[in-house]
Structure 1
Amino acid sequence: MQFHHQGYVSADPRIQPAAGIGLNRPAELPDHVDVLIVGAGPAGVVAAAQLAQFPEITTRLVDRRASRLEVGQADGIQPRSVETFEAFGFADRIVAEGCRVVETAFWKPDPKDPARIARTSRVLEDPNHVSEYPHITVNQARVLDYFSEAMAFAPTRMQTDWGYEFQSLERTETGSHPLKVTLLKKSADAPDETRIVHARFVVGADGAHSRVRAAIGCTPAGDSSNHAWGVMDLLAVTDFPDIRIKCAIQSDQEGSILLIPREGGHLFRLYVDLGEVDPADRGAVRKTSVDQVIARARKILHPYNLDVRDVAWFSVYEVGHRVCDRFDDVPPAEIGTRTPRVFIVGDASHTHSAKAGQGMNVSMQDGFNLGWKLAHVLQGRSPASLLHTYSGERQVVGEDIIRFDKRWASILAKRPEDFSSPQALEDAYLQITEFAQGFMTCYPPSMIAGEGEYAGLASGYPIGRRFRSAMVARVADGVALHMGHEARADGRWRLYVFADRAAAGQSEAMRTLADWLQHAAESPLRGYTPGGLDANAWFDLSVIYQQLHTEIDINQVPAVFKPAVGRFGLTDYERVYSVLPGDDIFAQRQIDRDGAMVLVRPDQYVAHVLPLSATIRLGKFIGGFTSRQS
């Protein structure tokens, strides 16, 4: 964490100085806003937390609830989400609070007595060490709390406006705020009040029954599986030995259970198979009582006992798989002819079962993807065409999640005798691990994802995939750290320059690149960063050398990688890195020893890979998504 560059700080350094609209943020909802986000669920709060970093943008987050969520439906946090939490500054705290899931135990009918279940195997959650982050479970309400804190600590001092219910939306096509939104303000001690808000952009994060989605004519397509599950969070006493381990449990005749240990050391969740649903009477299964689901769970867990002391949360649901064909208000035939103004994120755009642990995780990535794009367009740093990439990128992800979820939900619903082999369930689980963790997303070529002509220079950083961190040493102080963890969700692009074999100050290629970055009109620092800002305000540069930190003279490192920051023009030494002994990032991420540049988006996805000499290509690519600045 960096601070003191604007002057001495003695208070909590996580609280950024108020700026812009945060200096005098009105308590009441304004009549005009830049961005109105409807729904303070996972997708909405991530988009809001990202936009909260931009003091000149008026963003308001409204929710129909009267106050914060207390009992959340989602609980599984995949490693990609924890990686995102790191960018927002609270990964370590939520991991400490959550329950770490390190393995899954598989239980099946005992061959000696099929009426009893027996453990057959255990599988590691991340056998291939895809991520340094863990898979955890934690109440969704706490995830929202942490993002709400990030909003409140941001320069805009953003907070959720509770008690506002979305009614309608009209696109007027006039003025600077062409969206007319009608809200109903509900209060326990006052009559309902209709409010009109005029917005530049609207984000619908209002769930599976989204009114924003209906207002723009999007219809989710898909189906239900005709299979129902009862889900409950329990405090119970049991002799089932794996009660604190994630388990997939298959009984011989009574169905299946997915068991998820929860945070706090005592709570656990059961997804209990209720069997097939009669399509002609879908309401019948929803009347299943909690006592009936507990009784079913006891039969599945035989011969183990389940003494339920408290049910913290309970629901019955059918597995539904639905996704919209677009995630904004521009029909396919009109793409390129007008700017998207209304967007849908999270469950408003895609729904699927909870057992794969994807709903909240995918929703948060929707919000992360969209938030910085709205900010860049509103700031004038990017053209409005950037907004088309949100639907173009995330709609495909929604379809991928549906395909994945259908496969996994059908596998869990199978009877033991329906599997092709005794290990089929475990094998299927291992095959989906990396996808389930959130690391298989790959965005196609676009204005913010290169074609990949030089992708071989950094094979460990595929274009369109998330930037995978690795250990390095910080040259200034020798501290070993994860380089990717230094990137905050501050809306900045990042250019990682992997130096060639020469020592600092002795490479002609590095000198030429540094000179171009510092002086050329096409450089992101000169042509695409406004005057008066710190040199790294919009594009953060890092350099990684192939030598050990003890072999590098920091004074020989080009000045462009040690920018002057803050009102005192202090030198920032913290983006100059080296390899670690026996832990070489060049080898781990297959970086060409002649060097390479890796450009990374604000949402942590790799945008381009280029050789050190490709300055013209880099400038042209950046010019495709960034507007010229004076």
Structure 2
Amino acid sequence: MQFYLNGFRGGDPDIADAAPGRRYRGPHDPLPEKVDVLIAGCGPAGLCLAAQLSQFPEIETMIVDPKPGPIEKGQADGINTRTMEMFQAFGFGEKVKRESYWVNQTAFWSPDPANPSHIRRIGRVQDVPEDSSEMPHTLINQARVHELFLDVMRNSPSKLEPDYSWAVRDVVVDPSTDDHPVAVTLENTGVNAGETRTLRANYVVGCDGARSNVRKAIGGTLHGDAAHQAWGVMDILANTDFPDVRQKCLITSSTEGNILILPREGGYLFRMYVELDKLNPDERVSARNFSADDMIAAANRIMAPYTIDVKEVVWWSIYEIAHRLTDRFDDVGDDEDRNPRVFTAGDACHTHSPKAGQGMNVSMQDTFNLGWKLAHVLQGRADASLLRSYSRERWVEAKRLIDTDHQWARIMSAPPGQSELDGAGMPRFQKQFIENLIFTGGLAVRYDPSTLTAEPTHQALATGQEIGRRFHSAPVVRVADAMQMQLGHVALADGRWRVFVFAGENPSEALGLVEWLGSDPGSPIVKTRRAGEDIDALIDLRAVFQGRFDQIALEHMPPLLKPLKGRLGLQDHEKVFCLDHKGLGDIYQMRGIDRVQGCMIVVRPDQYIANVLPLSDRQGLAGFFDAILTPATDAP
């Protein structure tokens, strides 16, 4: 972690100095008349986006929610490994690791053939495959995730806070102007309930749930089907003789249904998803009037011969499975020749069952994809056409989610002997679980070739860093201080691109590339750098060499690898890395990087690999960035 860049200052280094002219958000402060971005909804998607945009005080961001304040309990709890990597970029990954429950193993229980009315354990699976991520799969209260994002917002230069008790009622886009063309009608849901205000925004993002008013305003509809199956979910404090209560468990009984057990943080709390009754095609789950007692009774029937003695129900809910997806994630129709102004994310554009643990994760990944693109456009670093890529990229991933979860939900609800996977050598749900591990880890996302994601022409130079997938971190040592660390952890949620230069057997080629990047007029770093900016303000260069840290002479490194930055012009010593010499792994070997030729890997601000190029292909690198970034008009 780097601080003191602009001079020494005591106190918590996570708390940034307030930007000049920031908006005061007191309880009686009037709403602004204009904002750059208005976010509807303080769920995971909305707060993830707000946390990103809060790092840019020049972008006026507002986030509203009809609730009177933050949630305290309930809702989602699963954080997959890809999201944990993202949390690391926001600065609170280690905090979540310390507070959360780690899902290390998943146990499978099914009817005992000798006594079908009783269940027995039939297997265990390691939950996170080896070297799929340096981060664990965790479980933690969604409210705590909200709080961590809120802390990022409060500590940012923007000092951003939500405006609670305001709901978006309508959104209207005026295509005849580029000056705050979106009119947003807000309705007060608090002490002045029913009062309305209209403000104007450059962009609106609807993170306002499955009944999204933002989606409805732009003509979006959720399409799909329902499984007509009632499920209950409860967070409980209970005693039980079931031996695997502190492991993730998938339990299927012969006649009583299924259960998913998820231990929670803190050592005592756990969550149970309990299958209840089938619903008629025209029936809603609310008509059955299920209660927490119904769930507890069903759980005891399914878990026989084991029993559960519930001491406290912390939170519970009844739901029915539905798989629905909207046709697009923005306000631009296929026949419209304009760039989008309104977007939807999370449950506003895709809904599914909660048992695969993907809802909160995919929702946050939606806005992690969108946030840096909005920042680029609003800062004038990219053309507004960049925003078209959001719907293209995230719709495909949402469709993958819906299709996979559709299959998983029906397998989980099918009685033994009635699933398409029965008779395949192991129980259907265990087989499907194993096949889905990369997907449920959030690691199956792969963006197709586009302006932002190059064709895999030179993929052979880094076979383990696939273009279109997230940058797969590996151990390195920072040369300046011999610090053993994960290379991917330098990619923060700060809207910057990363270029990783991996030196080949002849380091001079990598050093020559770095010299060119730092000084040549054709370099994308030089072309996009604005007057008064640090040289790494938009494109952050890092270099990795194959020797030990004590074999690399920092004094001979080009200026771009030890740049002078900040108000005082202080030298940055954290740009150069080498192989890990303490046995955690060789990044070249682990990620298939060509030792002879080396390569450069371009990583997007959302941590996805955009390009892999030879060290000699300077024009290829320049051309890639030319298609995305706008040259600075006031270069130093």
TM over 0.5: yes
How is 1:516-595 mapped onto 2 (pairs within 5 angstroms)?
516-581=516-581, 582=583, 583-593=585-595, 594-595=597-598
- Alpha-carbon deviation of 1:32? 0.2
Match in the other structure for 1:488: 492
Distance 1:414 1:304, change over 3 A: same
In the alignment, is the contact (CA less than 8 A) between 1:25 and 1:156 conserved in 2? no
- Alpha-carbon deviation of 1:389? 0.5
In the alignment, is the contact (CA less than 8 A) between 2:230 and 2:278 conserved in 1? yes
- Alpha-carbon deviation of 1:81? 0.9
Of the candidates 404, 425, 446, which is equivalent to residue 442 of structure 1? 446
- Secondary structure, in 3 states, of the residue corresponding to 1:527? helix
Match in the other structure for 1:607: 610
Distance 1:363 1:21, change over 3 A: farther
Distance 1:511 1:259, change over 3 A: closer
Q: 1:154-211 CA deviation, whole Å, 9 max, x = no partner?
A: 11110110000111111123351111111012323x4542111100000000001101
- Secondary structure, in 3 states, of the residue corresponding to 2:22? helix
Q: C-alpha separation between the residues in 2 aligned to 1:127 and 1:374?
A: 34
- Secondary structure, in 3 states, of the residue corresponding to 1:362? helix
1:598 correspondence with 2:585: no
Q: C-alpha separation between the residues in 1 aligned to 2:523 and 2:30?
A: 42
1:622 correspondence with 2:625: yes
Q: C-alpha separation between the residues in 2 aligned to 1:121 and 1:331?
A: 49
In the alignment, is the contact (CA less than 8 A) between 1:286 and 1:316 conserved in 2? no
- Alpha-carbon deviation of 1:101? 0.9
Match in the other structure for 2:82: 80
Q: C-alpha separation between the residues in 1 aligned to 2:312 and 2:413?
A: 27
Q: C-alpha separation between the residues in 1 aligned to 2:403 and 2:477?
A: 41
1:457 correspondence with 2:457: no
1:185 correspondence with 2:188: yes
- Alpha-carbon deviation of 1:558? 1.5
Amino acid corresponding to residue 610 of structure 1 in structure 2: L
Match in the other structure for 2:98: 96
Distance 1:295 1:378, change over 3 A: same
Q: 1:233-284 CA deviation, whole Å, 9 max, x = no partner?
A: 1111111111111100111111110111111111111111113211122246
Q: C-alpha separation between the residues in 1 aligned to 2:563 and 2:578?
A: 18
Q: C-alpha separation between the residues in 2 aligned to 1:443 and 1:304?
A: 46
- Structure 1 unaligned spans of 5+: none
- Alpha-carbon deviation of 1:588? 0.9
Instruction: Please identify, of 352-361 and 165-174, the stretch whose mean Cα deviation from structure 2 is larger.
Output: 165-174
Match in the other structure for 1:302: 304
In the alignment, is the contact (CA less than 8 A) between 1:277 and 1:285 conserved in 2? no
In the alignment, is the contact (CA less than 8 A) between 2:222 and 2:326 conserved in 1? yes
Q: 1:267-322 CA deviation, whole Å, 9 max, x = no partner?
A: 11111111321112224654212212211111001111111111111111111001
How is 1:502-513 mapped onto 2 (pairs within 5 angstroms)?
502-503=506-507, 507=508, 509-513=509-513
Q: C-alpha separation between the residues in 2 aligned to 1:235 and 1:381?
A: 51
- Secondary structure, in 3 states, of the residue corresponding to 1:573? coil
How is 1:261-280 mapped onto 2 (pairs within 5 angstroms)?
261-280=263-282
Match in the other structure for 2:397: 397
In the alignment, is the contact (CA less than 8 A) between 2:166 and 2:190 conserved in 1? no
Q: C-alpha separation between the residues in 2 aligned to 1:185 and 1:139?
A: 28
Distance 1:545 1:25, change over 3 A: farther
Q: C-alpha separation between the residues in 2 aligned to 1:184 and 1:340?
A: 24
Amino acid corresponding to residue 64 of structure 2 in structure 1: V
Match in the other structure for 2:342: 342
In the alignment, is the contact (CA less than 8 A) between 1:107 and 1:118 conserved in 2? yes
Amino acid corresponding to residue 446 of structure 1 in structure 2: S
In the alignment, is the contact (CA less than 8 A) between 1:105 and 1:248 conserved in 2? yes
Match in the other structure for 2:173: 171
Q: 1:401-444 CA deviation, whole Å, 9 max, x = no partner?
A: 00110111111112223322434432221110011000110001
Q: Give RMSD over aligned pairs.
A: 1.4
Distance 1:98 1:596, change over 3 A: same
Match in the other structure for 1:477: 481
- Alpha-carbon deviation of 1:565? 0.8
Distance 1:20 1:440, change over 3 A: farther
How is 1:176-325 mapped onto 2 (pairs within 5 angstroms)?
176-188=179-191, 190=192, 192-283=194-285, 286-325=288-327
- Alpha-carbon deviation of 1:381? 0.3
Amino acid corresponding to residue 141 of structure 2 in structure 1: N
In the alignment, is the contact (CA less than 8 A) between 1:546 and 1:579 conserved in 2? yes
